[in-house]
Amino acid sequence: MLNRYHRATPPVAAIEGPTILLCLVIYGGWAALTFFHRDIPWPLLALLGGWTIAWQMSLQHELLHGHPTRSRRVNDALGFPPLTLWLPYQIYRLAHLRHHRDEHLTDPLEDPETYYLTEDRFGRLGPLARAFLRFSNTFVGRITFGAMRSMLIFLWLHIGACLRGNRAEQRIWLQHVLGVVVVLVWVVGVCHLPLWSYLLCFVIPGRVLASIRSFAEHRAAPDQAERTAIVENAPVLGLLFLYNNLHSVHHDRPGMPWYRIPAYYGAHRAEIIRANGGLVYDGYWDVARRYLFTQHHRGPHPGFVAARAALPGAGMPRPAASAQIAEAGD
């Protein structure tokens, strides 16, 4: 990847204390919230539970990029617990690393996290599907129906791959299901928190919060440096997203630990904004204001990869790299 505005990422420690501490806070907080759920009013439980799930998704994103240790096994073990119930860490890891080929960002044939479609696939949608897609491309639509729809699409594609005999998928899902059993033994068996309550107060609000970050972080553009956005002035959600609101920094420095991103951005702000073509939002309220009921983008990709849509199988979702797979973190 080109070094657009700095020559080197500063070295990181062999063991990153802030991220280890964050792991303890997230998993300890989750255990406490589930265990003491009877003593917490449900609106507060939904807020804290959703925050914890979204925070773990941000943590998983950090871990798959090689933190907080130099051992992938240790990092993967820290990211494995399936608190979301629906997203296997290893599938997210593989798809997200594929997403980081910046020359293919937003390409519907290559980027597993894009919401763009090929012209061919868009052309096959009926009127109702197009209307739903238009709504899903608004801020309100993405954090409501769009967030739930992407979960269902993900499960449909990957469970289908398992049923068709994909051995790699089967191994990942077997491990994931065993992890889910352990989570539910704790949640339902030990804490006596009903599954429906866990879904409503943890899983769904966590998914909604995570979808706020991913909504406007990429757009199609001929220059790959201009495909990634920056959301400034987001102290609360910035912490929740581990400063991936400063997304241009992350894509140029994917190995930089979360706690160094704000200072790095502050020191190189002018260069970073110049490099990304000025794709900057003044907080997530600005994102919501601009796109509350307005599409962030139209469904089909604007065309500089459209010529490839005629390839066999073009535009069709692929189980290991399906669209909308990982708003945790991209």
Helix (H) or strand (E) run with residue 226 in it: none
56-63: average pLDDT: 98
Burial class (CB in 10 A: 0-12, 13-18, 19+), 167: exposed
Return the pLDDT at 202: 99
pTM exceeding the 0.85 threshold for the entire prediction: yes
Report the Cα 82 to chain-centroid distance in Å: 15
Residues 95, 97, 98, 103, Cα dihedral to 10° = 140
Q: Could you give the percent of the chain with pLDDT greater than 90?
A: 80
Burial class (CB in 10 A: 0-12, 13-18, 19+), 307: exposed
Tell me the per-residue pLDDT of 8-24, one tens digit each, with 9 for 90 and over.
455 667 899 999 999 99
Band of residue 120 on the pLDDT scale cut at 50, 70, 90: confident
Return the pLDDT at 327: 40
Using H for helix, E for strand and C for coil, what is the string for 265-283? HHHHHHHHHHHCCCCEEEC
| Residue found by looking up tokens 């010529």 in the block | 307
User: What are residue 228's DSSP bridge partners?
Assistant: 218
Confidence check: pLDDT of 3 > 50: no
Return the pLDDT at 306: 43
**Pick from 150, 208, 195: which is nearest to 325 by CA?**
150
Tell me the per-residue pLDDT of 22-43, one tens digit each, with 9 for 90 and over.
999 999 999 999 999 999 999 9
Domain boundaries in the chain? 17-321
Higher-confidence residue: 28 or 306? 28
**Pick from 30, 27, 11, 20: which is nearest to 75 by CA?**
20
